[in-house]
Amino acid sequence: MTAALLHKENMNVIAVDWSKGADYINYFQAAANTRVVGAVIAKMMEGLHSTAHAAYSNMHVVGHSLGAHIGGYVGERIHGLGRITGLDPAGPCFEEQDVQVRLDPNDANYVDVIHTDGDNLLALGFFLHTSKVCYKDLGCFANDNPYSNSFGALPSSPDDMQIKMNLYTRDNIVEPTLILYNETSSILDSHYDGNKPTKIVIHGYMSDATEDWVLNISNLYLKREDVNVIAVDWKSGANKIYPQAVANTRVVGAYVARLLKTLRDKFGANMEDVHIIGHSLGAQTGGYIGSLTPKLGRITGMDPAGPLFEKYDSIVRLDPGDATFVDVIHTDALPFEEAGFGTRLPAGHIDFYPNGGGHQPGCPPPYKTGVSEMFTLKFNSKEYLFAAICMKESMRYPTELAAFMAVACSHQRSYYYFAESLTTEKCKFTSYPCASYAAYRAGNCTSCGDGPCPIMGADADQYKARRGDFYLTTNSQNPYCNADYGKCSPNCQTGCSKLGHCIGGCNPGWKGKQCDQNCDEYSYGVNCGKMCGHCKNDEQCDIITGSCPNGCVAGWTGHNCKEACPPFTYGDKCRETCGHCRLGNACNVVTGVCSQGCNPGWSGERCDQACPVGTYGRDCVMTCGRCKNNKTCDSVTGECLNLCTEGWMGLKCDQHCPPGFFGRNCTAQCGKCASGTCDPSSGKCQSGCKAGWTGPTCASRCSNGWFGPNCKIKCGQCKNLTFCDAEKGICASGCQKGWKGLMCNRSCKNGYYGNSCSFKCGKCVKDQICNKSTGFCPNGCALGFKGLKCLEVSDEAIEERGMMSLAVPVLVSCIVLLVILFSMTTVYFLCIRPRHGRLFSKFYRLSTRSLQIPEIHIYEEVLSGTWELNKYNLFLTNEKLGHGQFGMVKKGFVKKDRTHRIPVAVKSIKGSASEKDRNDFINELNILKKVGQHPNVVCLVGACHIQGTMYVAMEYCKNGDLRTYLRRLRKSKNNLYANAKVISPVQKSVLLKLSLDVASGLSHLAEKQIIHRDVAARNVLLDEHLIAKVADFGLSKHDDTYVKTSNTRVPVRWLAPESLFNALYTTQSDVWSFGVLLWEIATLGGTPYHGLDTQQMCNLIKQGFRMRRPRNCDPALYAMMLQCWYERPESRPCIKEIVSRLQRMLEDSQVYMNLDLDVNEGNQYAEIN
């Protein structure tokens, strides 16, 4: 870490070494040492601050485990310390202490902590450093599993613990004899007799063999019988920190086992006659002795120690396998967090639980504490450390001993009970088998079955046949056995003490310690502990049974009138049934009133009245809707059972028909009303019909020959008696002779006739007007002309020409002169202006006319006047731009003036086209008119009729369609084709600009309420400046929503789900298609859903599949694609929002698309349809 810090930056690094104070074997001493180390570091920092002017805010303490808490102690002394980093701060002895003891956020300006080993204290593994110690004759002792319960502490040596075996016999009751296992002479010189039973008494934690209870039990045994009593003294090993004392029990046990082996082998001792009596850790030591001594007779565990034993393997602790008979007295089996020192686990063949095995009567109440605070008790705001992992070797003050004794009271009771069992003749600690102490206290366990009840204490081995848990009670003080009965009151249940106090309580109807007092008013039962029920007239119940003499008040029932009426009943004897209360709640048991109101369909205080006709719902406050034939609705839900009156809808018939619908339940759709809405009842269009429709409901198409709103306008003179378009009145097949205009509603100007009025009348007599259809002169010809049309010269005129023969030479001269002038003009145009000559070879006129006929043009109403082209100003070339829906699309020019021509793309439809194609062509023309002018939409230039064929001229885009452009860009990122601009590889915003152009065009269409329905790269054109323009409105509709009803082929790979599966088109379905177009741009013309046929693609879209992000595509742009592909149309962003976002992305220099595609990436887009 030091090297890493120095590598990071130029700084001062100070590594603190306190290894001598951090000895891992004695963790708890190390915990105490942290304060001194912290003080030293703080002093050093103060020196740096005063002499080297080092700022405290620039100082950073990094500490691990105990070192982290050292950092906290430093922070306590150095105000304004910059930072402390705690690397898994140590938990034991710190976790639940005051913040002044441990690291906390107030110790520095900034404190950060890394936690990596936050297990429970009892599961700590980081203390354990596996090792072992060996002692002569006793063997080796390791601290690994299963003996890992001492936090890694290894047992001390027998010499360090000064283990002594004090022998007492009837020959030396007062002064013990010291015997040693390895010195036979010490045993020979003693009064030990191998033929007598041997009692071995082992003290526990923080104790020694001179304790009163040890001497008392030894003396009592010697008075009772002739035995050997060995008091084991290991006080130097028991007065250590608790985990060390736990580890020491193994060496003590091995030492005693070695002595027993010597007594057996050399002095004839029978192990079946050996009885070990151990308290606390001494009981666990007895278990270890038993595991080393085969056929050991008996072990009595007096409240075996629980901490660091309970959760470990049975080989570590006392269990029934350690001796022929093991009996255990539990007196402090509380949870460890409540300072319970004894084990809660059954540990013997018989486990006695006096007073439940936990808190004993007469002892202070249990002390509540946390796990890591369990060894640090607090009394009167002072700390007293005892028997703890955070403690010195002995108590320091008398007050500490008092605190220890207060908590250890229940723990000590076990040897007091055992000692009393050695002396009591009349009173026995009789116990009873029971499932729990609560069941025992309830009087459910008063028998031991066929056998005798075991007696707790010295004589427990007389009941070796018994097994299990046994319960009993004791007095709160000496004598503890409570079976000494005195004179009892006849009202006592189970006898009384010698003071006359009833032990088991009073019979029903009596109370008091001696059960000599009658129950108070309104009480009854055992000890008068029960209260009377709800008796009628507030009468006293029977003091024994609690029954009410005259029954219960309303709302109550049962023998003692303590039971409220069952749910949904009320009144006297609960005979009445509740009404329909809200949410299934019960009514008032006395009155039956529903306090929270009624369920729908019911009313009244008790909710027992059905709703009146015409109402429904909760408390009947809702009024029925417009049900058919004025029928009433369902009283609960309000639903109309017989459908709705015309013009209303919904289950409750309370909703007006939405705009566009009418009739019963609003299932009928309005016709083509001008306002979009009809009468909700009858369906009549009160505002009239849209163009092309008629009838009261506007559901009928115009009859042949009529068009416009309500079909009131008669068609013009369409060619071959065909009919005009019912909506606009356009004659798609052209006009009858003598008529002109798109609607063929204007007759030829006087002096003209024929198709499109393109022929001039002959010389009719008196300059009369010829027939505008046939051109015939109705009253003959003028002088010098003949024929029906008066176009032929008469014979008389020919004769007159002879008279003009003299004028021929003059005429010839004039002709020669004209030829010369024509030749000179030809040379000028072919040689001097060759580029003009080429135009004549490249273009041809769509039609010609006599120079004598003046140009005649009046704009059509259908084209709003500004869209009709003069047919003589339209020129068509042989250059094919593509195939449209209705035929070939060619390049052309529109003459602007004598010297300027505008390039255009020309679509046409022949007169022989089908009715459907003509209608679709006219629809596209109308859409183009509606679109108007926009820089990102291919706009209409004009349209005209020429000899029965309609031509539509549109804006010409020099660089072709976007898809071809992208695919060529894939192959070469420089020149795309001859006339294209060069795109530098660094101009990576070009593709975003193309996306923005298309979005802007679609936004313009959306504002015009036009649905494109075929948004794709192939339908986007690029002009000479590479500005993208939306084109091809062949599938477009001028409506907010369009449902496809024909069998028109549709672009399935670009369609939104609602369009693909339900034929429903909206501007939001165009947004979906725009998302696919973005994907095309990102892949430089890739085919969407490549590798999938149509059926596979449809199935995947139904399952929520979306195309993956193209390689090198910016995540922000792909996120926009995914939003465009939301399944719900309303969840997709509107096209205006997309325009704004693309503008921001284009402005952000960090957002770009990488054009440098991987060579192999093209394979995934190999299929180009």
Residue 782 makes CB contacts below 8 A (sequence gap 6+) with 763, 764, 765, 766, 767, 790
Distances from the Cα of 242 to the Cα of 30, 246, 341, angstroms: 15, 6, 12
| DSSP secondary structure code for residue 466 in this structure | -
Tokens matching residue 172: 């030396």
Contact 408, 275 (CB under 8 A): no
Q: What angle do CA 565, 567, 568 make, to 5 degrees?
A: 100
Q: Could you give the CA distance from residue 378 to residue 373 in angstroms, rounded to a whole number?
A: 9
Q: Could you give the CA distance from residue 905 to residue 788 in angstroms, rounded to a whole number?
A: 42
Q: Which of 280, 421, 756, 758 is catalytic?
A: 280
Q: Which of 203, 349, 411, 534 is catalytic?
A: 411
DSSP 3-state of 401: helix
Residue 585 makes CB contacts below 8 A (sequence gap 6+) with 594, 595, 596
189 catalytic, yes or no? no
CA-wise closest residue to 1151 among 1121, 1124, 1112: 1112
Contact 277, 418 (CB under 8 A): yes
Residue 493 makes CB contacts below 8 A (sequence gap 6+) with 502, 504, 505, 506, 507, 526
Residue with tokens 């705690």: 86
Exposed (0-12), middle (13-18) or buried (19+): which is 1090, by Cβ within 10 Å? middle
Tokens matching residue 1146: 């284009």
Does 8 carry a binding-site annotation? Answer: no
280 catalytic, yes or no? yes
Sign, CA torsion 980/982/985/989: negative
Residue 371 makes CB contacts below 8 A (sequence gap 6+) with 95, 96, 120, 121, 122, 336, 337
**Strand-strand pairing, 874-883 and 940-946:** unpaired
| pLDDT score recorded for residue 488 | 60
Establish whether the linkage from the previous residue to 146 is cis, with ω within 30° of 0.
yes
| pLDDT score recorded for residue 381 | 29
Q: Could you give the CA distance from residue 989 to residue 748 in angstroms, rounded to a whole number?
A: 57
The rounded radius of gyration (Å) of the Cα atoms in the chain is: 56
303 catalytic, yes or no? yes
Q: Could you give the CA distance from residue 961 to residue 881 in angstroms, rounded to a whole number?
A: 10
Tokens matching residue 814: 């004039």
Which pairs from 32-39 meet CB under 8 Å and 24+ separation? 32/390, 34/66, 34/69, 34/70, 34/73, 35/73, 37/70, 37/73, 38/69, 38/70, 38/71, 38/72, 38/73, 38/74, 38/76, 38/77, 39/73, 39/77
Tokens matching residue 740: 């002109």
- Could you tell me if residue 232 is left (phi over 0), alpha (psi between -120 and 50 degrees) or otherwise beta? beta
Q: Which of 303, 608, 654, 725 is catalytic?
A: 303
Low-confidence ranges of the chain (pLDDT < 50): 120-128, 369-400, 402-403, 484-487, 498-499, 805-806, 833-865, 974-986, 1039-1046, 1149-1169
Average pLDDT, the chain: 82
> Does the global pTM surpass 0.85?
no
| pLDDT score recorded for residue 289 | 97
Q: Could you give the CA distance from residue 983 to residue 285 in angstroms, rounded to a whole number?
A: 91
Tens digits of residue pLDDT in 563-611? 888 888 998 888 888 888 988 888 888 888 998 889 898 888 889 888 8
Q: What angle do CA 584, 590, 596 make, to 5 degrees?
A: 35
| pLDDT score recorded for residue 96 | 58
